[in-house]
Amino acid sequence: MTRPIAKAANVTARSRRRQGSPVLLRAALILALAAVCAMATPVFLAAARSGLAPHIGPSGPAQAAASQLPMSGLQTGACMSLEPSSAGAGKTVFLDPGHGGLDPGVVGLAGGRQVLEKDVTLAVATRLATLLRADGYRVVMSRTSDSSVTKLSATDSVAGALTASAEHRDLVTRTLCANAAAASALVSIHFDAFDDPSVGGTETFYDAARPFASENKRLAKDLQTAVVRALGTSDRGVWTDDELAAPTLTAAGSLYGHLIELGPAATGWVESPSKMPGALVEPLFLTNPAEARVASDPAGQQRIAVALRAALAKYFSGA
């Protein structure tokens, strides 16, 4: 099995891993646990932004409203609760589309066009939210538009890039949102990158240091298996988040050695860790042109969303 690309020890040349991203952002991408697909679901997104109920067509029934959870320091459209669109599960799933706003995440190329990780993660998460709501789940999304989750001030960016402390706060805010949602599972969606454009595949991370580590692992395996099966990608495996190594942006981040959204408490870094099983899935490499094409294609995004939905169904079934 291929070692995870994210592990510093497994990658000789990391300096250009996050191509096109400002230096400040690069390590933040590692720290982090993921074009708005407005064409696919304009009504949903517009509703999510405005807090109004989306409708199915001009005279269709109103679906559940999108409402922001009562937390301080949130960006508009962040930490939005979406009610189920059919009766069912009675469970809440927290979806975290990685990155957003000033943080583009990985920058790839498909057919000469830039593919930004923040756009693809949001497109997949939005599609997944629609599927899950139809299955009867309440969904809370860390963000519903191209923005950070935490509200930013002028001092949170330098030369158009988020500072390390703002990135940290953004990830902590995502974690707090998951807890405020009282979610049963946390799924963070990201896409991968590497210097060598021939490298591709799927990998998923979980935290082994939590009391619910076995559920984390089961969720991660279900997500990984479903995506690999659906996309026919190279199975790069399921890894613990300390394999990600290199939250190198700051000394505190390196010391922590976990993904903020998945890892345990650490004074001054993660005061309130996530309270539910979670995993971070990276379905494709945006630096691989063929995979970037799939990731940026609405049909590809739907395939990923369908796979993640099946994985969550399997996870919740306990099978």
Question: Exposure of 72 by Cβ count < 10 A (0-12 exposed, 13-18 middle, 19+ buried)?
Answer: exposed
Cβ-count burial 282-317 (b if 16+ within 10 Å, e if not) = bbbbbbbbebbbbbbbeebbbbbbebbbbbbbbbbe
CB of 32 to Zn ion, least distance (A): 5
Nearer to Zn ion, 190 or 218 (CB): 190
Torsion sign (Cα): 261, 262, 266, 267: positive
202, two tokens? 């799927």
Question: One symbol per residue from 8 to 47: x for binding Zn ion (CB under 5 A), - otherwise; what is it?
Answer: ---------------------x------------------
Nearer to Zn ion, 98 or 277 (CB): 98
CB of 114 to Zn ion, least distance (A): 15
Nearer to Zn ion, 27 or 48 (CB): 27
Could you tell me if 285 and 194 are in contact, meaning their C-beta atoms sit under 8 angstroms apart?
yes
Nearer to Zn ion, 105 or 263 (CB): 105
CA separation for the pair 187, 190 (Å, rounded):
10
135, two tokens? 């299955």
- Write out the binding residues for Zn ion, residues 169-208 only, by CB under 5 A: 190
CB of 211 to Zn ion, least distance (A): 26
Q: With CB under 5 A, what is the number of residues at the site for Zn ion?
A: 4
- Write out the binding residues for Zn ion, residues 70-109 only, by CB under 5 A: 98, 105
Nearer to Zn ion, 84 or 98 (CB): 98
Residues lying near Zn ion in the complex (CB under 5 A) are found at 29, 98, 105, 190
